[in-house]
Structure 1
Amino acid sequence: MLLPSFLKGLVHRFSWGQFVTLAALSVCAGGLWAFAALVDETLEGETRAFDQAVLLALRHAGDPSEPLGPLWLKIMMRDFTSLGSYAVLLLIGLLALGYILMLRKWLSALLLVISFAGSMVLNNLLKQGFDRPRPELVSHLADVYTASFPSGHAMLSATCYLTLGTLLAGVTRYRRLKAYILGCAIAIVLVIGISRVYLGVHWPTDVLAGWALGAAWAMGCWLLLRAWLGYRALRQRRG
């Protein structure tokens, strides 16, 4: 009986907004820690066995050029992976930005620009810095032109869809809808990352690192927006 009473006390002590802020802080800190750990293990070569095992598990034994599953699955994975491409993310970002500007949500628009543009610049710099080769263990089922670590599709899709998800959930009144919106955003990000490994264009750790850093970046930008709004509201009350 003590544990339920303790939990009820926590619920009454912390508001929903405080809980959301704490969750965002946890995602941001956890994502940065996971990314740093993956960088350390990858540079030391500790992830090679894991990466190779996952890639080979998704291909027919003795024929690494053929992925598991029927032809329609390969086509579906190519469609899924396009949801994380620069072209699609740029289109979605511009459409969302136009909608936010028409609502005159200037700070939300600024958050969107900083989140998207900053993530793209950061990902390109990291790719050039690490310069990890693409997997040669299996054939590539999609065209690639850049380095492998961290996955741009995974990182940018995490930044894009999680940022849009938090902004949309923020203007939704019902908690079930908030959870549904964020759940959909997370599902899209996961599907895109999985498709990159299935198509053989990324090591699994590339995708894990992209997810971790993209989620941390998105939550970090959102926390900055929330902090500024709180500061502005405090100044208005004092004024």
Structure 2
Amino acid sequence: MSMGLQSAAGRRWLTFAFAMLALSGFAGLADEMRELETTRWDTAALHLAQQWRAAHPLVEAVMRELSSLGSTPVMTLFTALAAGYLCVARRPARAAAVSLAMVTAALAVTALKTGFGRARPDPAFAALLQQGLSFPSGHASMSAVFYLTVGVLLAHRQEGLRMQAFLVGAAAFMTVLIGVTRVMLGVHWASDVLAGWAFGAGWAALWFWIASHLRDARGAKSGVQP
């Protein structure tokens, strides 16, 4: 096996290990939530967010605007634009991977919310009324899947380590920022957001592993090294 193939295989299995670690973290948080072990710090976070909004009125308006970057319409639009760009760039397999990752993640989050059936925080804590169930946070989950996927895809096209780190860091920052807004607005428990980040990061990594595995398999079949 050549060094290139060894390196590609190593990256692939590191990605798989990260996916399993993140999804295991989600499962652990889910167990803690079911056993009410998160109640104390979930409630403390809501009280802190409420006090912060009261002390700084501008915070609520800013949080509302930033939160929209993880909403279903925005995520759908961004996914369509990213897939369109990848198709124009003659990367149809990557376009399909991004689209499938988002669609399957949305279905999985819906199923998880229904399965856990956790109610949202009391509306008295919320800056706006939000319908639906709470665990995991859809905004946190879907933003993690989308921004991390796109950030890593863009980083792969860069040669400089600093540029790669910046792109992945920017993607992680967007993911964290959107999740924080959900707690700051009082529409999610903090554990909902942490679980959403873990699920979304793990889901994105799992799809990267699947896509890279299929790509390497095609390359080995055609005799082209990755």
Larger Rg: 1
The residue correspondences of 1:1-239 to structure 2 (distance < 5 A) are 17=8, 20-60=11-51, 67-136=53-122, 138-237=124-223
What CA deviation, in whole Å up to 9, does each residue of 1:11-32 have, x standing for no partner?
Answer: x9x9765664454234212211
> Which TM-score applies when normalising by structure 1?
0.86
Sequence identity (%): 33
Question: 1:111 Cα deviation (Å)?
Answer: 0.4
Question: 1:147 Cα deviation (Å)?
Answer: 0.2
Count of aligned positions: 222
- Classify 1:231/1:25 alpha carbon distance in 2 versus 1 (closer, same or farther; 3 Å): same
CA RMSD, 1 decimal: 2.1
Deviates more, 1:15-24 or 1:102-111: 15-24
Q: Secondary structure at the match of 1:128?
A: helix
Q: Gapped runs of 5+ residues in structure 1?
A: 1-11, 61-65
What CA deviation, in whole Å up to 9, does each residue of 1:82-105 have, x standing for no partner?
Answer: 110001111111111111111121
Question: 1:168 Cα deviation (Å)?
Answer: 1.2
> Which TM-score applies when normalising by structure 2?
0.91
Following the alignment from structure 1 to structure 2, what is the Cα–Cα distance between the partners of residues 47 and 84? 24
Select the structure that is richer in helix: 2
Q: Gapped runs of 5+ residues in structure 2?
A: none
Runs of 4+, deviation exceeding 4 Å: 14-20
- Quick check: 2:12–2:213 contact (8 Å CA) kept in 1? no
- Quick check: 1:56–1:138 contact (8 Å CA) kept in 2? no
What CA deviation, in whole Å up to 9, does each residue of 1:173-218 have, x standing for no partner?
Answer: 2221111110000000000001100100000000011000010000
